[in-house]
């Protein structure tokens, strides 16, 4: 699997890769007749992805497998995380369905049939979903004589964008992660995060609550780019909790946030020195410095004094 490259991708895979969330989500969003025919207790979650690194800024995916009528059903969950829908989503789905078929053939060389695939698209953007609902809608012209020779399939859509009134269903963790995705494009991300933190206390398992909390905070800081660490620390300090484990996490997060603030200041100083000596750094270089650990920043700060190029300094 390629490295995770976006906050949306990371949050989606961390959340819907959790078995308890996956099971709860599928129970509420698969058709009743399909739920009656599968054994959800046999759910297996694949860690692989069929989305190329180039498209990771637009799509993320997870593959679920369950026992179905003596065989297997593949549930392909595609998360589209642009702010506006992608017109070519059915074409992307066709590629992923074909890739899953190739993978199955490699794993089952004696098989003569492929397992059925249920494609489910999860969308949380700001614009209305006006994307072809079937592959045939992408093909023009399509006279009746050609219809039998063109692939045809539809996909299920779960639109949780803020502009819809879609009900967010499920247990508290399942609702929380969907509401987090719904609110990530909000003009008031601090208010959305405040509301989400209120749900954390309702998660009965403290281990899961801590994991979701950490993932949620990282998502809103990195995914909105409008939520600052000091604002998160303020929200956490206002969060009522009598649980010692939760309180320890909050104190540790606040302490780490202060250290990250100091480290970001050092990175910004080094960026200014780079701009003076080598010219404005590219965005990848900026990210590289902002994400570097303290020891690496110190080494680069020493090397900039004698380096004759940016490449030599970062070596």
| pLDDT above 90: residue 302 | no
**What pLDDT was estimated at residue 250?**
64
Q: Is the pLDDT of residue 3 over 50?
A: no
Q: How many residues does the chain have?
A: 315
| Cα(78)–Cα(61) distance, integer angstroms | 4
18-22, 51-55, 230-234: which has the minimum mean pLDDT? 230-234
* φ/ψ of residue 229, rounded to 5: -55, -40
Instruction: Indicate the range of 33-47, 197-211, 248-262 predicted with least confidence.
Output: 248-262
Residues of the chain above pLDDT 70, percent: 90
pLDDT in tens, 72-113: 999 999 999 988 999 999 999 999 999 999 999 999 999 999
Tell me the per-residue pLDDT of 137-195, one tens digit each, with 9 for 90 and over.
999 999 999 999 999 999 999 999 988 878 899 999 999 999 999 999 999 999 999 99
220's CB contacts (< 8 A; 6+ apart) are: 180, 184, 189, 192, 193, 227, 232
For the segment 109-122, the average pLDDT, to the nearest whole number, is 97
| Residue linked to tokens 């190329």 | 52
What are the extents of the domains in the chain?
7-169, 244-314
pTM here is: 0.79
Q: For 211-224, b where at least 16 C-beta lie within 10 A, e where not — what string?
A: bbbebbbebbbebb
């Amino acid at each position: 699997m390629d490295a995770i490259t976006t906050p949306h991708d990371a949050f989606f895979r961390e959340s819907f890769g959790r078995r308890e969330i996956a099971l709860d989500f599928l129970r509420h969003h698969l058709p009743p007749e399909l739920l009656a025919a599968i054994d959800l207790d046999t759910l297996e979650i694949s860690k692989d992805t069929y989305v190329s690194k180039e498209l990771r800024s637009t799509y993320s995916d997870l593959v679920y497998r369950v026992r179905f009528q003596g065989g297997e059903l593949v549930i392909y969950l595609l998360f589209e995380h642009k702010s506006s829908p992608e017109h070519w989503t059915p074409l992307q789905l066709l590629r992923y369905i074909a890739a899953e078929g190739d993978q199955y053939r490699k794993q089952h060389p004696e098989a003569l049939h492929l397992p059925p695939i249920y494609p489910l698209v999860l969308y949380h953007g700001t614009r209305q979903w006006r994307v072809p609902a079937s592959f045939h809608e992408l093909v023009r012209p399509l006279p009746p004589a050609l219809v039998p020779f063109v692939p045809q399939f539809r996909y299920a859509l779960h639109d949780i964008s803020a502009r819809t009134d879609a009900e967010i269903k499920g247990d508290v963790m399942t609702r929380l992660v969907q509401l987090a995705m719904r609110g990530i494009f909000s003009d008031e991300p601090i208010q959305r995060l405040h509301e989400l933190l209120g749900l954390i206390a309702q998660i009965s398992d403290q281990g899961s609550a801590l994991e979701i909390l950490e993932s949620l905070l990282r998502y809103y800081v990195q995914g909105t780019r409008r939520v600052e660490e000091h604002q998160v620390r303020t929200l956490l300090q206002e969060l009522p909790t009598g649980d010692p484990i939760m309180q320890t996490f909050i104190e540790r997060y606040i302490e780490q946030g202060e250290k990250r603030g100091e480290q970001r200041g050092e990175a910004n100083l080094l960026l200014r020195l780079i701009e003076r000596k080598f010219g404005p750094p590219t965005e990848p270089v900026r990210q590289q410095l902002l994400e570097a650990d303290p020891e690496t920043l110190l080494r680069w700060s020493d090397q900039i004094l004698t380096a004759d190029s940016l490449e030599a300094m970062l070596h």
